[in-house]
Amino acid sequence: MTETFDVPTLEGATKLLQSGQPLASAAICGAILAREPRNAIAAHLLGLALKDTGDWEQGEHWLRFSVTLEPQRGEFHANLGNLLRKRRKLVDAEAAYQEALRRLPGFPPALLGLAQTWVDLGRGTQAEAPCRALLGRDANDAETWETLALALTQQRRTAEAEHAHRRAIELDPEYAVAHHNLGELLVTLERPEATDALERARRLGGNGYEVAYNLGRAAVNAGELERAESEFARAVELQPLNPEGQRALASLRFMRGDPAFVRSLSTVVRAHRDHLPLQTLLAELLWHSGELSGAQTLLRDVLTRNGSDATVRSTLAMVLLEQGRLEEAEAEALEAASTPSDRSSAALNLVTVLLARGRPEEARPFIAAQRQQDPLASAWLAFEATAARMLGEDRYRELCDYERFVRAFDLPPPPGFGTISEFNAALSAVLADRHRFKRQPLDRTLRNGTQTSRSLLSDPDPVIQAALASFHTAVLEYRAGLEVLPDHPLARLRNGAVQFTGAWSVRLLRGGFQVNHYHPGGLVSAAYDVTIPEDVRDPVLKLGWLKFGEPRYPAPGVGPAHFVEPRPGRLVLFPSYLWHGTHPIHTQSPRLSIGFDVWAGT
């Protein structure tokens, strides 16, 4: 509260609240209300005091009561909005702030609270305007700069967001939240200074889940796997019911070769048998690690105890499909898709099952609905092409003209290297240090191999940067030779600026291969071979050859339609929605490659 009051007891209550003594303040307010039940100021102070004691429910009750008594007071509505936002009642908080601004136009606390609520709701574009207005009045307000930074991050304007974070810290060097949020942004950008920002937040008292979780992510990016596991374990200790932390810890342990990689999650699941997100997560991790029987048993137990749930049934459908039990998979997928849900994953799994069952006509309506919502989504383009192929339609050829859309470039050596073999030898040596895991990621299509954890796009090594520059040149050549109609998905590449959205390295070991898949993060994707084993050279077996057209789960009459022979120094570019994979390699010599995705900006 910013006002002072003539009534001494109310003055005393206000001073006690401002000095950090909410219980004493609440006692005075209670005594006043016993005598004057409709004293709006006393009711409001009581609500604020109870909020500060942690009794948010009663605090909200008294704040609402005070608003009822004196609805014309804009500051009352703003304070109610602050508590509602703390309680994650974001729609109610938005309404409270808007009412405050109707009563007190331009009231800074309400304007800032509204911006913060819009950020919480993921509406960063809306949040930017009130932040700019506040900074126009006071350019030295650290909290507003920090709110603006979050709004800009949601708009993917990362350079501006970083500047805003740093401006907030410049104005308030002890601002722990700003240090953490800057660190989180830098982790996402895979910048090494993320760790410094997060450790600073921890030293300033930010020792909660978010700091530990993001320090774990930063350690993974830096290849410091022991520290990463320690930080993720700390995050899980602080919030054991948080699926995000549990997934990160289990996935890291799996890639490090830990056979008991789900031990932390399993312990929590046993203690919380009705926690559906964690139960489903455990089943999903078991499925991806190949423990299909355990995943199926867990999911059926969850359904027995908790009744039908779309996510659980949809996950069970995929586990059954993986086991080749197509009829049961279809039954579960249909049940999941018929349950009201705003997620497209149930529809995706149902379409996967229907195509595997040889029923493209039944899959068509689901594909069409999702294509309408997201015309460039690789998943639905892949399924549309598969259904068209099964039905013998021209649309398949339009989307999957392999001769036109799959192009191989045998790259020249970058400047400073005499031959491509010399360059690949240097690249192989650099990449060897980036492959620090013992196993593949749990949620990827790689089998019997490893993948780098940090994007190569942010790797400063000059050899990697030279490779990326060569790839960029090839992408521009691919684009220049691309002829498609304006309504074709690849037409965007013709019209937009080329943007790399991800780059990684894969090392396949004996028996290693890539499951058939598409790339959800790109418009055009690529595979570049650094080293290949001898058995890959066999043109009959085509081991390790890049194959196109065959979906993840076998569908009647839909086998590989196109192959590309791998060669060291060869870059293959293709639409991201094309199904592609490889057959396993058999020799002890690993196969080392780089993959990347490209998008086209407007």
521 vs 549, higher pLDDT:
549
What strands, in cross-sheet order, belong to the sheet with 497-514?
A: 407-410, 570-575, 524-531, 591-601, 497-514, 446-451
pLDDT of residue 307: 85
Please name which of 377, 322, 372 lies closest in space to residue 349, comparing C-alpha atoms: 322
Tens-digit pLDDT profile for residues 428-442: 999 999 999 999 998
284/349 Cα distance (integer angstroms): 14
pLDDT for the residue 8: 54
pLDDT tens digit sequence for 177-213: 999 999 999 999 999 999 999 999 999 999 999 999 9
Secondary structure letter of residue 412 according to DSSP: P
Average of per-residue pLDDT across 166-182: 98
Whole-number pLDDT of residue 1:
47
pLDDT score, position 339: 80
pLDDT for 286 beyond 90: yes
Q: Which residues contact 352 (CB under 8 A, 6 or more apart)?
A: 318, 321, 333, 383, 551, 552, 553
Vertex 387, ends 385 and 389: CA angle to 5°? Answer: 70
Per-residue confidence (pLDDT) for residue 342, from 0 to 100 = 55
Residue 60: pLDDT over 70: yes
Q: What is the pLDDT of residues 362-402, one digit of tens each?
A: 999 999 999 999 999 999 999 999 999 999 999 999 999 99
Q: Average model confidence (pLDDT) for the chain?
A: 95
Q: State how far the Cα of 9 lies from the Cα of 275, in Å rounded to an integer.
A: 48
Q: Is 192 helix (H, G, I), strand (E, B) or coil?
A: coil
pLDDT above 50 for 18: yes
**Model pLDDT, residue 200:** 98
How many whole angstroms separate alpha carbon 514 and alpha carbon 363?
26
- For 445-502, how does the pLDDT look when each residue is reduced to its tens digit (9 = 90+)? 999 999 998 899 989 999 999 999 999 999 999 999 999 999 999 999 988 789 999 9
List, in sequence order, every residue forming a beta bridge with 546; answer none if it has no partner: 564
Q: What is the pLDDT of residue 201?
A: 98
**Amino acid letter, 463:** V
In this prediction, residue 428 carries a pLDDT of: 97
Percent of the chain with pLDDT over 70: 98
d(CA 569, CA 387): 35
Is the pLDDT confidence value at 340 over 80?
no
Summarize the confidence of residues 89-98 as an average pLDDT: 98
Give, in order, the Cα–Cα distances in Å from 260 to each of 211, 252, 269: 25, 11, 15
Contact 595, 504 (CB under 8 A): yes
Question: Between 7 and 115, whose confidence is greater?
Answer: 115
Q: What is the mean pLDDT of residues 120-133?
A: 97
Euclidean distance between CA atoms 231 and 171, whole angstroms: 29
Q: Name the superfamily (CATH) of residues 404-601.
A: q2cbj1_9rhob like domain (2.60.120.620)
Q: What are residue 572's DSSP bridge partners? A: 408, 527
Report in angstroms the alpha-carbon separations of 142 from 167, 269, 550, 558. Answer: 7, 41, 54, 59
The yes-or-no verdict on residue 246 having pLDDT over 90 is: yes
Predicted confidence at residue 5, as pLDDT, reads 43
The CB-side HSE value for 503 (13 A sphere, CA atoms) comes to 20
Query: Which residues are registered as beta bridge partners of 449?
Result: 508
Mean pLDDT on 308-337: 94
Looking at residues 556-563, what average pLDDT do you find? 96
What was the pLDDT predicted at 578?
98
- In sequence order, which residues have a C-beta less than 8 Å from that of residue 333 and are 6 or more positions away? 313, 314, 317, 346, 349, 350, 352, 353, 354
